Chain A
Amino acid sequence: MSFLTQAKTKRIVAVHGWSGVVLGLLLYVCIFTGSIVVFQEEIDTWSQGVLTHNEGVGPRVDHHFRTAAREVDEKYYEEITIFGTPDGNVRYLFRTHVTGENGGIEDDVVQLTVNPETGEVVDRWEGEITERERNPKAALGDFWVDLHVQLYMPRPWGLIVTGILGLAMMAAAVTGILLHKHLIRDAFVAARDRARLVGSRDLHVLAGTWGLPFAIVLAFTGAFFSFAISLGLPVMAMLAFGGDQAALMEAFLGASKDLDLSPAPLASLDYIIADAVARTDSYVQAIEIKNYNSVSAEVSVRLAAAAGSLSQFTLGYDGVTRAFLGESPGFGSAPSLSDDLVSIIGPLHFGNFAGFASKTVWLGLGLAVAYVTATGMLLWTKRREEVPLWQRFRQVIIITIWGLPVAMLVSAVFYFVTLPAGDPEWWTPAGFLAGVAIALLVGADRELAERRLRLCFALLCVSLPILRHLTGGASWSEALVAGQISVLAIDILLLVGGFILLKQMRSGRSNEPGMFVQEPAE
């Protein structure tokens, strides 16, 4: 970029470097955990030892649904959602809106969990949705997701911080493009001697060049999710609608129609499901019924992304005449480009649009961006290695790079140990803090920090599948019989990864400078 003067280049270097150094550690935590929780469903299956499958909503729900609905007060007929659960049951969520203690509108729900074969209600829960207890068995997956989404901070502060991190990442990516004059020319320059400064630069530049498009996508979509909920809606409502969020939603989603709540029977759900499946060649993930058993009843059928498509979609039906009303936009009152763009933000961020294949690719991309962040921070400190303060910061970076996976695995250890006692929700975050303490202790020696942390990580990788099995987790044979490959895949990945690391450390390679440490200094 020859249009940049020396002074401008210097300023851009400062923006690129300082934004990375100030927020880099948190950014690394956010990106690394995000890469792992791409596999949240699989992690839940693995940690909970679930041997059943979420079958979605089957073709015959109508009879069982109507029978169950008779047991629920009519005031909850305002909105009903039907969806499959991971343990193979179907859940009916009957919902009405109430004014909460803080004056905001909250959902008051009756939640029935039903066996799809027999129609038997296996669980009934009532209350405001914000009070609903989390599933203690899902504590590990939930904690790792919280760590990624809001760095385990209270709302909305965590979301604001991760939103800022997304913007910082965008700034780093854009300034990186401006700074690096030979982006294409250097796309194949493998790192020279890693012990030298130029080698560190090569590592960062190469990973940055290849990971740049995804880094921008990830940063934008992540910042969108963080800010849309925490700041976007309240700020927009305040500026344009005098603080009236309901008016804002009406402007976005279209004005609500005049409702005729006189009684009328709901059309057959089985017919609607069959029609939706026939139109789309997909399967039903959820059904939403508004104003059940009234003239204004509407049924929306949410279907999984069809082959070749990125996002799921929703078909609308008249709840009484079962007439097909067309595809319902997720954003706005009519199909539009904004609706299309909003609908792909989720799949592009989560990478869950094509099952295991897309998740694996997204894991790789996420780890590549985490690597860029880590090597960038190390490069910055290497350029200032004569300053003791930066050397100490370098050690903190090393501890964070290896300490984060160590702490995550220690939280998993605490989860498995406390799962039989039924209290992993408190112990899993406590385990993470214990892991952080271990990382700080193990990494206290500057020379040996990376080697010791790698050893810790390898030992945890190898011991975790054994611990999972000893604490009552599903065995490999049970998982295979049930077709739950996730249990085997994660166990094998941990074992193989751990053994490879241990083998590397036992062989001569353990004496080499670490993956991130480039010693001796130039």
Chain B
Amino acid sequence: MSLWLTLIAILISLAGISYFASTDNRRRSIHRMPQIERRRFAWLARLFTFAPGIVLLLSTNWSGLSIWAGAVMVLGWNIAALTPKNYSDLKQFILSSKAQLTQSAKTLKNRFAGREPWPDGVTYTLIEKATKRRTINAEVSQLEARIVALEARLHRLESEKAELVDVIQPEAKRTKQSD
């Protein structure tokens, strides 16, 4: 429980630090980004950054306070060390990864459903064979069911035909006799 509280405290402080990093005019001018007139949420960001530490201090959670301070130093440094270009690269990477993952999941689903072919390769061939076998089995079952149904229909038609022959033949005999 104590560890979870510390983790939450770290995340809250990092949110504050991230705000400061993204709105720091010196950083923005060095990296040729437009200046910000004034920080609208500076007090809130200060509160976010330091309040978790004060809460841990007041609750005499010394181990939590030490972990919080250490983590804020290391992760804060990492946040500050990333340049705006790094951030845009990271954003691009996350977005492209997300798109790639979605596409891969869709393709995989289609392949398992047999709607798309598997690419070459031993593993894929094995999967493809297994999928194909399953599809063929399903088709065979369908065809067999159809055959059974057709056979039943054939059988019924044959028996109907036989009945019709029985009915026609005595009538034909009677006609012959009367002639």
Residues of A within 8 A of B (CB): 185-192, 203, 206-207, 209-211, 213-214, 305, 307-310, 344, 347-348, 351, 353-354, 357-358, 361-362, 364-365, 368
Contact = CB atoms under 8 A, between A and B. Distances in A.
Contacts of A203: 81
B178 interface: no
Interface stretch (B62-70, B114-122, B169-177): B62-70
26 contacts: A187-B80, A188-B21, A190-B31, A190-B80, A190-B81, A207-B81, A210-B76, A210-B80, A213-B73, A214-B73, A308-B2, A308-B61, A308-B62, A309-B63, A347-B66, A351-B70, A354-B66, A354-B67, A357-B6, A358-B70, A361-B70, A361-B74, A364-B75, A365-B70, A365-B73, A368-B74
Contacts of B62: 308-310, 344
Interface in B25-47: 26-27, 30-31
B123 interface: no
B158 interface: no
Question: Which 8 A-B pairs rank lowest in CB-CB distance, beginning with the nearest?
Answer: A210-B77, A364-B74, A361-B70, A188-B24, A308-B61, A190-B83, A354-B63, A188-B27
A210 B73 contact: yes
A283 to B, nearest CB: 16
A362 B27 contact: no
Interface string B1-37: 0110010000000000000110010110011000000
Interface of B: 2-3, 6, 20-21, 24, 26-27, 30-31, 59-64, 66-67, 69-71, 73-77, 80-84, 86
Contacts of B75: 364
Contacts of A186: 26
A207 B77 contact: yes
Contact of A310 (B30, B66, B82, B86): B66
Contacts of A351: 70
A191 B76 CA distance: 15
B26 A189 contact: yes
Contacts of B26: 185-186, 188-189
Given A214-B70, A357-B3, A368-B73, 4 more contacts: A188-B27, A308-B59, A344-B62, A353-B63
A206 B81 CA distance: 7
The residue in B26, B31, B86 that gathers the most chain A C-beta atoms within 10 A of its C-beta is B26
A209 B77 CA distance: 8
Nearest to A202: B30
Contacts of A206: 77, 80-81
